[in-house]
Structure 1
Amino acid sequence: MKKIILYLVMGTTILGAQLVDGYYSVQGEKYHYGWLSTASITVEDGEIVEITTNKVNKEGDLVTEDAEYNKKMLAKSGVTFKEFSVEGPKNLMAVLKGNRDTAFHLPEIDIVAGATSSSKKFKKMMEFLVEKAESGEAGKYRMKL
């Protein structure tokens, strides 16, 4: 099985930014091939302690549990969305845990080989959620991806 490569490079410092505890989630406004992209973060004691990403269809099914979708994605790109949904957040969390400065740093999220579209959407959703966590606007959101 092809390994997922996710490079995380420390990016720009968001000076003086503090994250407000809470649960922040977002999903796309438009279905792409029958699926909405989703992501969430949980902030405790000013730090992101959990990150998730997935896709959901109109019936509420998750793409990570859709064997046919993952089989097709693997054949086309060399990676399944199920792998991406685990490795992307796990690698980002590893970088964030090593980043315990007084200001919050959101690392640059490079593209995952074989999952370019998913990576771009994940990055955009993470930026959006961090902005919400900085302002303390916990909740569920929709956004254009």
Structure 2
Amino acid sequence: MKKKIVLASMLFASVLALAACGNSSEKESAKETTEAVKVEKKETAAAELKDGTYKAETGFDDRGWKAVHTITVSGGKVTESTFDYENKDGALKSEDEEYNKNMESKSGISSKDATDQMDKAFVEAQSADIEVVTGATHSTENFKATAAALLEAAAEGNTETIVLK
């Protein structure tokens, strides 16, 4: 009986040792993969942007607004970002005082303040991956989509207006 207990204990210890080795290997492999992805993302983010002015817009929504986003790239970096909504008459949502008052009273932030925050965050991050502006979730989603398209256009040097659907 003692032999069986000793044998079972040795078998259990062996399995534990092998499992520990496997976990160490898996952890090391996962760590290497994570580092490779980080390097790849960094290289992609650092891809040389071609100097110029780039514009993207969406189609008109149900309320008659389309997102318009223009960036300026200088020295391979985004130096300026201007995001807004425009109606069929060319009026900008950020300049519509009544709309901004209503939005701020309902969501806690005006369209102008939200777009200013997004523009600033984008230029600072040099990335479309910015934080969602509380009270302007839909606008942030549109911003991220147009910003990503603009970064791609700037990497290619495509200065034609991009129209997103």
Provide the TM-score with structure 2 as the length reference.
Answer: 0.70
Q: What's the % identity of the aligned pairs?
A: 34
- Partner in structure 1 of residue 111 of structure 2: 81
Aligned length, in residue pairs: 124
Is structure 2 residue 164 aligned with structure 1 residue 139? no
Between 1 and 2, higher relative CO (CA 8 Å, sep ≥ 6) is seen in 1
What does the per-residue CA deviation read over 1:48-92, in whole Å, with 9 as the maximum and x for residues that have no partner?
110110000001101111011111211221110010121211122
- Partner in structure 1 of residue 84 of structure 2: 54
Secondary structure of 2:79's partner?
A: strand
- Partner in structure 2 of residue 17 of structure 1: 47
Which 4+ residue blocks in structure 1 deviate beyond 2 angstroms? none
Is structure 2 residue 55 aligned with structure 1 residue 34? no
Whichever residue aligns with residue 27 of structure 1, its letter is E
CA RMSD of aligned residues (A): 1.6
Equivalent runs, 1:58-73 vs 2, <5 Å = 58-73=88-103
The alpha-carbon deviation at position 107 of structure 1 amounts to 5.6
Which structure has more helix as a fraction of its residues? 2
Describe the shift of the 1:140–1:85 C-alpha distance in structure 2 as closer, same or farther (beyond 3 A).
same
Describe the shift of the 1:15–1:119 C-alpha distance in structure 2 as closer, same or farther (beyond 3 A).
closer
Describe the shift of the 1:15–1:81 C-alpha distance in structure 2 as closer, same or farther (beyond 3 A).
closer
Select between 14-23 and 121-130 the one with higher mean Cα deviation: 14-23
Secondary structure of 2:161's partner?
A: strand
The alpha-carbon deviation at position 31 of structure 1 amounts to 2.7
Whichever residue aligns with residue 76 of structure 1, its letter is K
- Structure 2: runs of 5+ lacking an equivalent: 1-40
- Structure 1: runs of 5+ lacking an equivalent: 1-11, 97-105
Question: Partners of 1:74 and 1:122 in 2: how far apart?
Answer: 19
